Structure 1
Amino acid sequence: MCLLSQQDIRVEVEKIIEENKVGTMATIKNNRPHTRFMTFFHEDLTLYTATSTETDKVEEVEENPYTHILIGYQGEGYGDQYVDYHGKVSINNSEELKQKLWTDNMAPWFDGPQDPAYTILEIKPELVRLMPNQTGEEPKEVQL
C-alpha cells in the first residue's frame, strides 16, 4: 500500500491532466446524463474547455452547472491510473482567456479567438480523486 502526501497526490493529478488533454465530460440533458469527449486546458486544478455557444452543452450547463469528468485513462486494462473530477461549470467569455487558450486546431469550428460563437467553459473543482493504478487500492482524494 502506497501512502502519498497531499502534495504528491496533487502533483500526480496535475501531471495526468497535463499529459492527457482529452477526457470525457458529462452534463445533464433532458434529465439524463450526456457525455462527450472534450479537450481540456488547466491552471492548477481548474479546467477549461473551448466550445461553441450554439452547442447543447452550453444550454445544459446553464440549466445545471455540475459536471463529471474522467481524464487520463489509457485503455490498457485494469489498473490504469486516471483522474475522477467533479466540478461546477461557468461560461467565461474573457477575451484574454479566449486568446490564451486558442490553438489552430480550433480553426475548423471557429473563425479565430474573436469569433462570437467561441466561448470557454471554466470548471472549478468540487471533488478530485486520483484513481488507483493498483487493483485493491482506494482512490486518493485531493484536499481542495
Structure 2
Amino acid sequence: MSDLKQRILDIIHKPQLASLATVTEKNNPWVRYVVTVGDGNLMLRCATFIESRKVKQIEQNPNVHVTCGVNSLTVMEPYLQIQAQARLSQTRDERHNFWNDMLTPIFSGPDDPNYGVLIIEPYRIEYCTPASLEPEVWTR
C-alpha cells in the first residue's frame, strides 16, 4: 500500500463530519453536511433518507464532491478533497453493516423503510496540507 493511500485511510477510517456536494436539476451546486465513514478500499458511506433531495440529485447526476478531515477550528490538519461517483444502496447487508447507535434518533432501526446508505466511490482524492499549495493526488 502506498504511503499516500495510508495517509488517506488515516483520515477517512473513523466517522466524521464532511461536506457533500451534488448538482441540482438546474446544474447548480448544492452542499450539505453528512457523517461519512471510509473503508480499506477508500469507499465512503453515509446514512440517508431514501427520498431525500440529495438522493434525487445523485440519481440525476452521480458525480459528487466530498471535503473531509478538518475536525477542529483551532488545529489545521491535512484534509481531503474527493471527487467521486455516488449511489444509493437499500440492500439488507449494506443497511445492517452500516447501522450504528448514532442513527437511532433518526431511523427506527436498520430495517426502517426510509433508511438507505450512500456509497461514494472516489476516482480522485487530493490530500491537502496547510503548508503546501499543491496537494498530493491519488487516482483510481
Whether the TM-score (by the shorter chain) exceeds 0.5 is yes
Is 1:26 aligned with 2:21? yes
Is 1:16 aligned with 2:11? yes
Q: Which aligned pairs between 1:30-109 and structure 2 lie closer than 5 A?
A: 30-44=26-40, 45-73=42-70, 74-76=72-74, 80-109=77-106
What residue ranges of structure 2 are gaps of 5+ in the alignment? none
The secondary structure found in structure 2 opposite 1:60 is: helix
What residue ranges of structure 1 are gaps of 5+ in the alignment? 1-5
| TM-score, scaled relative to structure 2 | 0.89
| TM-score, scaled relative to structure 1 | 0.87
Computing the radius of gyration from Cα coordinates, the structure with the larger value is 1
**Runs (4+) off by over 4 Å:** none
Code of the residue aligned with 1:139 in structure 2: it is P
Residues 41-100 of structure 1 show CA distances to partners (whole Å, capped at 9, x for unaligned) of 2222111111001210110100111100000023337x6310110100111112111111
Per the alignment, do residues 131 and 97 of structure 1 end up closer, same or farther by CA in structure 2, a change over 3 Å counting?
same
Per the alignment, do residues 143 and 63 of structure 1 end up closer, same or farther by CA in structure 2, a change over 3 Å counting?
closer
- The CA deviation at 1:21 is 1.6
Q: Is the 8 A contact 1:20 1:71 kept in 2?
A: no
Q: Between Structure 1 and Structure 2, how many residues are aligned?
A: 137
Give the Cα separation in 2 of the matches to 1:22 and 1:104: 16
The percentage of counterpart residues that share the same residue type is: 26
